[in-house]
């Protein structure tokens, strides 16, 4: 993540290529060429996949520096992308996720990453029968989500164009069967791993940057313990790629447009929870578009807002995903 600092605090900072000391920077875009500056990108907030979230730019955190975000994500949907990609009506389903995301630089090249959905709440509304008016009770479930841990390593570092690799292990800390209906979840119950190759480029002195990433997601195997018996699901693996264009007009603002494409490979077995109430089901694919705005104060605290939308998808809720967050940069 790019960090933000008052221009007075940047005096004496060296560029990565042993450039002359630069003083009194006027624009945050100027920070993009320096060794101890990192990408200002907030992770993708389209959490409808339930998959491990990873750092998705080529910039790593500087040594002993960090980026942390406390966020609230929520989606309320009366529609669902079915396995054919068609939108169908469902009983209104809501999911709220309170999470912490963090990056810390162990070295200038090696960054530790954590994504922890600490509280996941899923609900299904009551439904009135169209036949006799009988109220069909809804359902609710609260739990911790699947926590992901990983590292990002800078292959090409300290230049306008950078390249990194990352790996994230997803722990099965969430519940894959919950509520009275046994249809609600806070995770998929499987170990998982996501590997990405990530590249970024700064267009300094113009206030723009671009990032690309591509990789593979292994979703693993899980047992779903229903009251009627156990179902074993071998989740489909997925190919992933994404693109991000960012604009940093000054030291306070970041405006970004993110594209993410997840393609289920169809190599799994077992259905799992794939109905309209599922957030963490099998065979999930989507083409997501997420505009995001972040505003930073002078003390390194910032506030972010984003809306994740799917132009095309399979087996996820068909509604925008809203995310608000508070970020903190440690220098």
Q: Taking the CA of residue 256 as centre, how many other CA atoms within 13 Å lie in the half-sphere pointing to its CB? A: 31
Distance between CA atoms of 30 and 2, rounded to whole angstroms? 11
Residue 233, domain member (yes or no): yes
Residue 164, domain member (yes or no): yes
Residue 18 CB contacts under 8 Å (≥ 6 apart), including other chains: none
CA distances in angstroms from 89 to 78, 84, 126, 167, listed in the order given: 6, 14, 15, 37
Domain coverage including residue 143: 7-330
Residue 36, domain member (yes or no): yes
Over its length of 331 residues, how does the chain's per-residue pLDDT go in tens digits? 333 333 333 222 222 332 222 222 233 333 333 333 333 322 222 333 333 344 579 999 999 999 999 999 999 999 999 999 999 999 999 999 999 999 999 999 999 999 999 999 999 999 876 777 788 899 999 999 999 999 999 999 999 999 999 999 999 999 999 999 898 999 999 999 999 999 999 999 999 999 999 999 999 999 999 999 999 999 999 999 999 999 999 999 999 999 999 999 999 887 766 555 567 888 999 999 999 999 999 999 999 999 999 999 999 999 999 999 999 999 8
Parallel, antiparallel, or unpaired: how do β-strands 285-296 and 301-314 relate?
antiparallel
Residue 1, domain member (yes or no): no
pTM, 2 dp:
0.82
Distance between CA atoms of 134 and 206, rounded to whole angstroms? 62
Tokens 């800078």 sit on residue? 154
Scanning 201-319, the segments in alpha helix (DSSP H) are: none
Residue 22, domain member (yes or no): yes
Domain count of the chain? 1
Do the Cβ atoms of 212 and 242 come closer than 8 Å? yes
CATH number at residue 206: 2.40.160.40
DSSP code for 33 = G
Using H for helix, E for strand and C for coil, what is the string for 48-93? HHCCCCCCCCCCCCCCCCEEEEEEEEEEEEEEEECCCCCEEEEEEE
Residue 2, domain member (yes or no): no
Residue 126 CB contacts under 8 Å (≥ 6 apart), including other chains: 135, 136, 137, 138
CA distances in angstroms from 192 to 53, 235, 237, 263, 281, listed in the order given: 11, 10, 9, 16, 14
Residue 115, domain member (yes or no): yes
Residue 270, domain member (yes or no): yes
């Amino acid at each position: 993540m790019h960090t933000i600092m008052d221009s007075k605090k940047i005096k004496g900072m060296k560029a990565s290529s042993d450039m002359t000391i630069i003083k009194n920077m006027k624009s945050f875009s100027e920070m993009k060429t320096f060794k101890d500056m990192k990408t200002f990108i907030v992770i993708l907030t389209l959490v409808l996949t339930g998959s491990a979230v990873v750092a998705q730019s080529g910039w790593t955190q500087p040594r002993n520096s960090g980026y942390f975000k406390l966020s609230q994500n929520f989606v309320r949907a009366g529609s669902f992308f079915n396995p054919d990609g068609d939108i169908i009506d469902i009983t209104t389903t809501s999911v709220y996720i309170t999470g912490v995301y963090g990056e810390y630089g162990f070295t200038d090249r090696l960054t530790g990453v954590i994504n922890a959905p600490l509280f996941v709440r899923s609900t299904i509304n009551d439904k009135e029968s169209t036949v006799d008016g009988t109220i069909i009770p809804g359902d609710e479930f609260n739990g911790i989500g699947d926590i992901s841990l990983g590292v990002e390593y800078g292959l090409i570092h300290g230049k306008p164009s950078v390249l990194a690799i990352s790996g994230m292990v997803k722990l099965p800390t969430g519940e894959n069967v919950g509520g009275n209906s046994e249809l609600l979840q806070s995770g998929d119950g499987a170990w998982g791993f996501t590997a990405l190759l990530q590249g970024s480029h700064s267009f300094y002195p113009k206030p723009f940057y671009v990032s690309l990433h591509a990789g593979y997601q292994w979703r693993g195997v899980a047992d779903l313990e229903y009251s009627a018996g156990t179902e074993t699901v071998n989740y489909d693996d997925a190919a992933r790629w994404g693109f991000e264009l960012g604009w940093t007009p000054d030291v306070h603002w970041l405006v970004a447009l993110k594209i993410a494409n997840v393609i289920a490979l169809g190599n799994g077995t077992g259905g799992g929870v794939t109905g309209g109430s599922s957030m963490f089901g099998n065979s999930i694919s989507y083409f997501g578009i997420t505009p995001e705005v972040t505003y930073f104060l002078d003390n390194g605290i910032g506030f972010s807002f984003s809306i994740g939308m799917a132009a095309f998808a399979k087996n996820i809720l068909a509604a925008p995903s809203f995310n608000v967050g508070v970020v903190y940069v440690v220098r």
